[in-house]
Amino acid sequence: MLYLVGFLLTIICLLVLGVNVWVLIDHLLTTGVPPSIQHPVKFRILHYCFHLITTWGNILEKMNICSMPQFFRFVQDSFVSKENLGVFVKDMHFGTIPVRLFHPKAPSSKPRKGIIFLHGGGAVIGSLDCYHNVCTFLARETDSVLVSVGYRKLPYYHHPSLYYDCLNASIHFLKSSKAYGVDPSRVVICGDSVGGAAALVVTQTLLGRTDIPKIRAQVLIYPILQAFYFQSPSHLTNINFPLLTKDFLMTCVCKCLAIDCSWKDAMLSGASISPSDWKKYEKWLSPDNIPKRFRTEYQPPKLPVPFNEAAYLETKHAMNVNISPLLADDKIIAQLPEAFIVSLHWDIIRDDALLYKKRLEDQGVPVTWHHVEDGFHGCILFFNNTFFSFPCSLNILNAVASYIKDL
């Protein structure tokens, strides 16, 4: 019996070691480190851990033990040391939607600004706990009441659950802002990555509402603003830069939008975009709209790929404006509040921010742009991490806080 137990333990140890070594080799062979990234060794270790967690999550999912998103969020939240310096924190619900309220401890003689924070993670990773310290920092440094929305995620919920939760939580907070000591005319909506998309969709959706206060400003931190055109310069040149590689991006897009992963190649090549749709959206998505300095290594596709109607029918919902708000009509864009946009040079979705910036400017909407040369996707989570801290993380949060304070 002891021999059998020892044999099984040996097999398990060899399996674990084998997976870990394979992930390390795969990381070293396929993953690039942008030249401007500070602390490249630390950065490689970070991405190796990220790659390792997703790999083990996929293994556990295939074994029907738990899903990859659940495993990743469990590991992610386990390493969070929550800090409440300078703020009161309260977990509550807006209807059925879990939210976390951050209220500065310092007394105020007048109503404060409000921040609606929608976190990133592609509806795969990220949580209220994971973003707790980011929200604490923003609430304290801007002297604002911040509400962080715990929207529904994979594996049980797909689009539009995320959108509806963010929309309904935002409406609730805007309607009841005075009860939280907030000036309803100074509420900012903020989000990173897919949270940035949700922030923009919510802002666009509420434009015509007269029964609730208007959003004062939109703060979008490396947002993903469209989910069907993957041939822009950043999509073709930044494909293997952590933490958002091409493979992980497409996994998030397909799972969130309930698209079978077999359509990935058609989406990446552009075969899923009909000629009529491209003719309609080219004026907004063309690489010519992106400044030349971001196109130095870009090689445009030589020939258009044949249109795949089956792929189009399976993926066309990705063009809806509640998924790809970058495609909203000019009359909608022109009515939006002023914006603060953060872009990262080596981010695979960098061009979404640049294209949206141009759309706002073309319609006369004030834009403050903060571009980070040494940033990487998801970096704000590490602004106060003892080991995995990077200068770009605090750089971005300080810039966001400074902008909100000055409103």
Give the count of beta carbons closer than 10 Å to the beta carbon of residue 19: 14
For residue 120, which of 366, 388, 357, 349 has the smallest C-alpha distance? 349
Catalytic residue at 193?
yes
Element (H, E) at 249: helix 246-256
**Helix, strand, or coil (residue 262):** helix
**Helix, strand, or coil (residue 312):** helix
**Backbone angle region of 181, left / alpha / beta, with phi > 0 → left and psi within -120 to 50 → alpha:** left
Catalytic residue at 347?
yes
d(CA 64, CA 81): 30
Looking up tokens 């907004």 gives: 284
Residue 43, amino acid: F
Q: What are phi and psi of 98, to 5 degrees?
A: -70, 135
d(CA 49, CA 23): 9
Q: What are phi and psi of 298, to 5 degrees?
A: -80, 130
Give the number of C-alpha atoms closer than 13 A to the C-alpha of residue 209, restricted to the C-beta side.
15
Give the count of beta carbons closer than 10 Å to the beta carbon of residue 209: 11
For residue 349, which of 329, 324, 328, 368 has the smallest C-alpha distance? 324
Catalytic residue among 177, 235, 272, 347: 347
Catalytic residue among 127, 193, 234, 272: 193
Catalytic residues, which ones? 193, 347, 377
